[in-house]
Amino acid sequence: MAEKLCAVKGMNDILPPASSHWEWLEDKLRSLVQGYGYRNLRTPIVEPTALFIRGLGEVTDIVEKEMYSFEDRLNGEHLTLRPENTAGVVRAAIEHSLTYDGGKRLYYMGPMFRHERPQRGRYRQFHQFGAEALGYAGPDIDAELIIMACDLWRTLGLTGIELEINSLGQATERQQHRKALIDYLEGHIDLLDEDARRRLHSNPLRILDTKNPAMQELVEGAPRLMDHLGAESLAHFERLRALLDAHGVGYRINPRLVRGMDYYNLSVFEFVTRQLGSQGTVCAGGRYDGLFAQIGAKTVPAVGWAMGMERVLELLNEQSLLPRQLAPDAYAVVPDAAHLPKVMPVLRILRQCGVGVQMHAAGAEGQGSMKSQFKKADASGARYALIFGADELAQGRVSVKTLRQPDGSGTPMQILLSLEEVPEWANRLKT
């Protein structure tokens, strides 16, 4: 027998009914950010490997060990399945001169790929919803993006998500801090773990982000980037804070928040929950004024965030906020398949009136008994069963049986409708 074929480890099939939760979330996210003037951008899932090496930086977790990179067998191109989409958005913005006439607010959603150890909240194919504002330099847009994310949590009903913010200043300020940091860490070299020693000279800022409990005290005492920021960087941060304060957005300043990608400067932020175990960051982002230049264009200031959709869905589930199963409005019970030519046009009229109808369809054993059809009608979650029996049809009628009330209560009732009355009934149902 042939070997059983399964999905790749860490990459999940999303089946009904869970897929309906995804559709529901996607709709919510889309309509909310559209209300802030963000427009959809769709870029390819495969990009040139050089885009991520140049964009994210050589010594980041992603580029060092998480990318699905391969050589195209046919033409030798070096390609990578996108591990994130900010680099792709910037690549597309440069390629199509999107910011030539001013700023652009964009959003995307879709699968990303990282070769990580699969666990709760961490997969090899996962999905991000992201928002990016290109061509805006001021802290007002940083505030807008953060407020927009808060608005999302509110719209979804989510609670217990905390905001952490920090400022990474500018490259020259980070350089000064970097020197002080390396000096400090070298003075305590015996306390550094293997990972930290490896990063000491390549990416010491990331050491501050360590999760190793044995290093917490060391890291607490390290020189703070905030103390190396100049007046302009501090002013940007203060103005962002003032806007968040004015909006009543609560936050915690986390001086050790540094983010994984090299491209960030000034504002960085994360939304974190304690309810998802160790994979608690549901949304993260910041300003990346240097990325356009890094990828190979003139400088365009920009800022954005990306949300992990699996984690948000998991949190919605934890807080019992997912909608109940999507059900059709009605289920058509058809005892005799010979009547289908009469029945199907009626169903078409119902659907044209906006009533969702699921038609009973014969299994391998034929149409099935009335009893089994009613069982299926009930299992579909539909509120009504439409019974197209031989007697009803002979009189030009259909029976409408109420299977459940919207609140789940009430006794079943049944009425007889003439087929001419069907559109009227459907319109009543939809108002």
Note the residues at the interface with ligand ATP (CB under 6 A). 84, 114, 116, 121-123, 126, 128, 260, 279, 281-284, 306, 308, 310-311
CB of 261 to ligand ATP, least distance (A): 7
Compare residues 114 and 178 and give the one whose CB is closer to ligand ATP: 114
Q: Which residues contact 70 (CB under 8 A, 6 or more apart)?
A: 78, 79, 80
CB of 285 to ligand ATP, least distance (A): 7
Q: Which residue is nearest to ligand ATP (CB)?
A: 308
Q: Are 315 and 288 in contact (CB under 8 A)?
A: no
Compare residues 193 and 378 and give the one whose CB is closer to ligand ATP: 193
Compare residues 240 and 313 and give the one whose CB is closer to ligand ATP: 313
Residue with tokens 């997969």: 123
Compare residues 108 and 388 and give the one whose CB is closer to ligand ATP: 108
Burial class (CB in 10 A: 0-12, 13-18, 19+), 76: exposed
CB of 270 to ligand ATP, least distance (A): 7
CB of 87 to ligand ATP, least distance (A): 11
Buried b (16+ CB within 10 A) or exposed e, 116-150: beeeebbbbbbbbbbbbbbbbbebebbbbbbbbbb
Compare residues 144 and 164 and give the one whose CB is closer to ligand ATP: 164
CB of 431 to ligand ATP, least distance (A): 41
Task: Using alpha carbons, list the distances in angstroms from residue 170 to 236, 293, 402.
Answer: 11, 14, 65
- What DSSP character marks residue 326? P
Compare residues 180 and 219 and give the one whose CB is closer to ligand ATP: 219
CB of 149 to ligand ATP, least distance (A): 11
Compare residues 126 and 384 and give the one whose CB is closer to ligand ATP: 126
CB of 209 to ligand ATP, least distance (A): 8
Burial class (CB in 10 A: 0-12, 13-18, 19+), 270: buried
Compare residues 284 and 357 and give the one whose CB is closer to ligand ATP: 284
3-state secondary structure of 86: helix
Burial class (CB in 10 A: 0-12, 13-18, 19+), 200: middle
CB of 117 to ligand ATP, least distance (A): 9
Angle subtended at Cα 123 by Cα 120 and Cα 128, rounded to the nearest 5 degrees: 105
Residue from 128, 131, 160 nearest 144 by CA: 131
Q: Are 392 and 416 in contact (CB under 8 A)?
A: yes
3-state secondary structure of 395: coil
Amino acid at 336: D
Compare residues 51 and 283 and give the one whose CB is closer to ligand ATP: 283
Q: Are 332 and 347 in contact (CB under 8 A)?
A: yes
CB of 43 to ligand ATP, least distance (A): 16
Phi, psi of 218 (to 5 degrees): -60, -45
End-to-end CA distance of the chain: 56
Compare residues 303 and 355 and give the one whose CB is closer to ligand ATP: 303
Would you put residue 218 in left (φ > 0), alpha (ψ -120 to 50) or beta? Answer: alpha
CB of 49 to ligand ATP, least distance (A): 17
